[in-house]
Amino acid sequence: MSAVAIPPPTIPSSPELRARFAAIVGENNTITEGTELRTYECDGLLGFRVRPAVVVLPASTAEVAACMRLGAELGMPIVPRGAGTGLSGGSLPIGGGLVIGLSRMKTILAIDYANRTVRVQPGVINLDITRAIADAGYYYAPDPSSQSVCTIGGNVAENSGGAHCLKYGFTVNHVLGLTMVLPNGEIVTMGSQTGEADALGYDLTALVVGSEGMTGVVTEVLVRILRVPEVTRTLFATFPSTDEAGDAVSRIIGSGIVPAAIEMCDQLAIEAIVKATHVDWPLDVGALLLMDVDGSAAEAQSLAERAEAHLRAAGAIEVRAPRDLAERQLAWKGRKAAFAAMGRISPNYHVQDGVIPRKDIAPVLREIAQLGRENGLRIANVFHAGDGNLHPLVLYDARIAGQEHLAEKVAGEILRICLRYGGSVTGEHGVGHDKACYLGEQFTADDLATMALVRETFDPERRCNPDKMFPTPRLCGDKPGAYVAHATEISGEAGRG
């Protein structure tokens, strides 16, 4: 796969530059060359590589602030980075710029069960919060498929979702307060300080969550934690095609059931997942749904019974429940490994993240399939059906001349289908570098100018993650990137989507 050309650095990496940052974070935590630097040239959007002038790995809010001040003094563009698992290029460096990696700030600072909060540094792995509180019967709800490797700081930047956001909400619904360093190096705290309900004034926290690294660098996060539901019931259902599966989702949601999650896989996705994992899913079906309902024992039982009736009424071939926890975990592991599994059926693929009204799943999937047929490309679908968040995977072979370009075009057309149905170009992966050129199709110039007022409140010089999210003529000459599995996915440590 071809990576885009590296633009010439605006600030050359020099011994003097290195020395100034090393004076703040230490020699060992200042990276300016070699294979170590290459690690930071891209994130989960691997089609693009850009070499920054310097990468720093600060250990404290004070060090982040000092780096930001120095960056401001030197006029350097700044890109914050968590684990680098993002799929939209949010952590793609700027040539000649500064990358602030938060991987050393991985301390869980405080756990407060009485007020149901946990305070963490941004480099804490999403799943590590739940691991720290599971014994007490609590968990942290947002569960991106990469949750075993992605960081809270990255989740905050992207407003990450996950399968169980349908009932429990996204990162923004679970972040109560933040400490952050503004682009000028100033340290500010916002939102709830210790877990109190109403922070006074404008909701800056809600602006920073999902701001894709364009407002500064978050250095502490106060998150809400929840009691683990008393009972979770998982249902697995197969269907002749995505039409019946989509209809089942509409029936369930429309009937007033709020499942904890409903995920759909189409036939191609099932094939890939079965090849890559050890789930015993049937291959001769057109689609499957994997869903959780939860609550008190009686409530979950009642929900499961009602949901099962809807699944059958919609034409399910088979409905079954996992026999035990291990089988349930295996089913979910299969789902979360779906993107990486695509490697079993295609050398390359683009992943998209469009959202549609959930009642329109069946017609939209038909349109996407038609688009694939017209262009001679296979498209697999594995997605969060309950909230209409599609993840079409456009399969192609980069060795065939012109196919990469065609796949990019088809991926873009899928986003346009989503917009035509009144949806969004991104449900959880973020706009970043990848979809900036489509944001202008979702929003008017006035809408984007209004969002820019927010950005410039935090970053009047537009130095923080410039060239992301907002479409610019220069940027939109670029091409959307292809998806390649992250090393941790291939090894089976983490999934995506």
Partner 1 sequence: MIDAPLRIAGVEPGRVVVPRDRTELAAAVRDAAAANARFAFVGGGTELALGNAPRALDVAFRTTALDRVVEYAAEDQTITVEAGITFAELDRILGEHQQMLPIDVPDRARSTVGGAIATNAYGALRHRYGTLKDLIVGVELVRPDGVVAHGGGKVVKNVAGFDLPKLAVGSLGTLAGIMTATLRVFPIPEVTRTVRYSGTHPAFVATLEARQLDAQSIVWYAEEDADGDGTYHGTIVTFAGSRVGTDAQIDRLRSIAAELDPGEELHDVGTDELVYYANLETMVRSGGDWRLRSVRLPETIAETPSFERAFATGAIAYVAYPTIGTALVAIDGGEPPHVETMRGDGGASAVVIHAMPERYRATTDAWGPPPPAFAVMRELKARFDPRGLCNPGRFIGGL
Residues 427-456 that bind partner 1 (CB under 8 A): 427-431, 435, 439, 442-444, 446-451, 453-456
The answer to the question of residue 355 lying near partner 1 (CB under 8 A) is: yes
Tell me the closest approach of the beta carbon of residue 78 to partner 1, in angstroms.
Answer: 18
Among 85, 389, 403, 465, binds partner 1 (CB under 8 A): 389
Among 27, 33, 73, 230, binds partner 1 (CB under 8 A): 230
Residues 472-491, one symbol each (x = binds partner 1 by CB under 8 A, - = not), give --------------------
The answer to the question of residue 343 lying near partner 1 (CB under 8 A) is: no
Give the count of residues interacting with partner 1 (CB under 8 A). 88
Rg over alpha carbons for the chain, rounded to the nearest Å, is: 22
Among 59, 111, 132, 199, binds partner 1 (CB under 8 A): 199
Among 328, 384, 391, 463, binds partner 1 (CB under 8 A): 384
* Nearer to partner 1 among residue 165 and residue 276 (C-beta): 165
Among 77, 210, 213, 495, binds partner 1 (CB under 8 A): 210
The answer to the question of residue 135 lying near partner 1 (CB under 8 A) is: no
Tell me the closest approach of the beta carbon of residue 125 to partner 1, in angstroms.
Answer: 21
* Nearer to partner 1 among residue 161 and residue 334 (C-beta): 161
Tell me the closest approach of the beta carbon of residue 228 to partner 1, in angstroms.
Answer: 9
Tell me the closest approach of the beta carbon of residue 215 to partner 1, in angstroms.
Answer: 9
Q: What is the 3 state secondary structure string of the chain?
A: CCCCCCCCCCCCCCHHHHHHHHHHHCHHHEECCHHHHHHCCCCCCCCCCCCCCEEECCCCHHHHHHHHHHHHHHCCCEEEECCCCCCCCCCCCCCCCEEEECCCCCCEEEEECCCCEEEECCCCEHHHHHHHHHHHCEECCCCCCCCCCCEHHHHHHHCCCCCCHHHHCCHHHHEEEEEEECCCCCEEEEECCCCCCCCCCCCHHHHHCCCCCCCCEEEEEEEECEECCCEEEEEEEEECCHHHHHHHHHHHHHCCCCCCEEEEEEHHHHHHHHHHCCCCCCCCCCEEEEEEEEECHHHHHHHHHHHHHHHHHCCCCEEECCCCHHHHHHHHHHHHCHHHHHHHCCCEEEECCCECCHHHHHHHHHHHHHHHHHHCCCEEEEEEHHHCECCEEEEECCCCCCHHHHHHHHHHHHHHHHHHCCCECCCCCCCCCCCHHHHHHHCCHHHHHHHHHHHHHHCCCCCECCCCCCCCCCHHHCCCCCECCCHHHHCCCCCCC
Tell me the closest approach of the beta carbon of residue 487 to partner 1, in angstroms.
Answer: 25
The answer to the question of residue 87 lying near partner 1 (CB under 8 A) is: no
* Nearer to partner 1 among residue 253 and residue 407 (C-beta): 253
Rounded distance between C-alpha atoms, residue 248 and residue 212, angstroms: 35
Give the footprint of partner 1 on residues 20-49 (CB under 8 A): none
The answer to the question of residue 370 lying near partner 1 (CB under 8 A) is: no
Q: Which residues contact 139 (CB under 8 A, 6 or more apart)?
A: 129, 130, 133, 225, 226, 228
Tell me the closest approach of the beta carbon of residue 415 to partner 1, in angstroms.
Answer: 10
Among 34, 201, 473, 477, binds partner 1 (CB under 8 A): 201
Tell me the closest approach of the beta carbon of residue 407 to partner 1, in angstroms.
Answer: 22
Task: Specify whether the CB–CB gap between 400 and 328 falls below 8 A.
Answer: no
The answer to the question of residue 226 lying near partner 1 (CB under 8 A) is: no
Rounded distance between C-alpha atoms, residue 311 and residue 264, angstroms: 13
Among 104, 106, 320, 359, binds partner 1 (CB under 8 A): 359
* Nearer to partner 1 among residue 56 and residue 182 (C-beta): 182
Measured CA to CA in angstroms, residue 142 lies from 125, 158, 260, 428 at distances of 12, 12, 11, 11
Among 304, 417, 469, 482, binds partner 1 (CB under 8 A): 469
The answer to the question of residue 93 lying near partner 1 (CB under 8 A) is: no
Task: Specify whether the CB–CB gap between 11 and 32 falls below 8 A.
Answer: no
Give the footprint of partner 1 on residues 102-131 (CB under 8 A): 114-116
* Nearer to partner 1 among residue 455 and residue 486 (C-beta): 455
The answer to the question of residue 227 lying near partner 1 (CB under 8 A) is: yes
Give the footprint of partner 1 on residues 156-195 (CB under 8 A): 158-159, 161, 165, 169-170, 172-173, 182, 188-190, 192-195
* Nearer to partner 1 among residue 195 and residue 322 (C-beta): 195
Tell me the closest approach of the beta carbon of residue 283 to partner 1, in angstroms.
Answer: 30
Give the footprint of partner 1 on residues 277-316 (CB under 8 A): 295-299, 301-303
* Nearer to partner 1 among residue 101 and residue 216 (C-beta): 216
